[in-house]
């Protein structure tokens, strides 16, 4: 497996060699490492999903308090009701 670029070949071969070395001397099996990696990915996706819901809720709440141009500093009733419906819908999830 040689590429025209010698640096690219060296990086790939050395990375595979280091990974093989750590795998041989870690005392773990490939199955154990893969299961831990998949468990970490599952937990990370769970946290990411709930963090984005919280962030979206905070952004919508902040937008509802901003004054709209052309009005007297208060958001329109249509915007407030739309945001309220959206927040109620998101809180059910």
Task: Write out pLDDT tens, residues 60-82.
Answer: 777 777 666 655 556 667 777 77
What is the 3-state secondary structure of 62-92?
HHHHCCCCCCCCCCCHHHHHHHHHHHHHHHC
Q: Which residue has the higher pLDDT, 28 or 36?
A: 36
Section 48-60 average pLDDT: 81
Domain map of the chain by residue range? 6-91
Q: Greater confidence, 53 or 35?
A: 35
DSSP class of 4? S
What's the pLDDT tens digit per position in 6-28?
888 899 999 999 988 888 888 88
Three-state SS letters, 17-54: HHHHHHHHHHCCCHHHHHHHHHHHHHHHHHHHHHHHHH
User: Comparing C-alpha atoms, which of 62, 63, 50 is closest to residue 90?
Assistant: 50
């Amino acid at each position: 497996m040689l590429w025209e670029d010698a640096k690219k070949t060296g990086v790939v071969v050395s990375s595979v060699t280091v990974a093989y070395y750590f795998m041989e001397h870690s005392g773990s099996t490939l199955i154990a490492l893969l299961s831990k990696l998949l468990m970490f990915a599952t937990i990370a996706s769970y946290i990411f999903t709930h963090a984005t819901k919280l962030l979206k809720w905070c952004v919508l709440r902040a937008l509802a308090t901003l004054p709209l141009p052309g009005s007297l500093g208060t958001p329109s009733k249509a915007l407030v009701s739309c945001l309220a419906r959206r927040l109620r819908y998101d809180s059910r999830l």
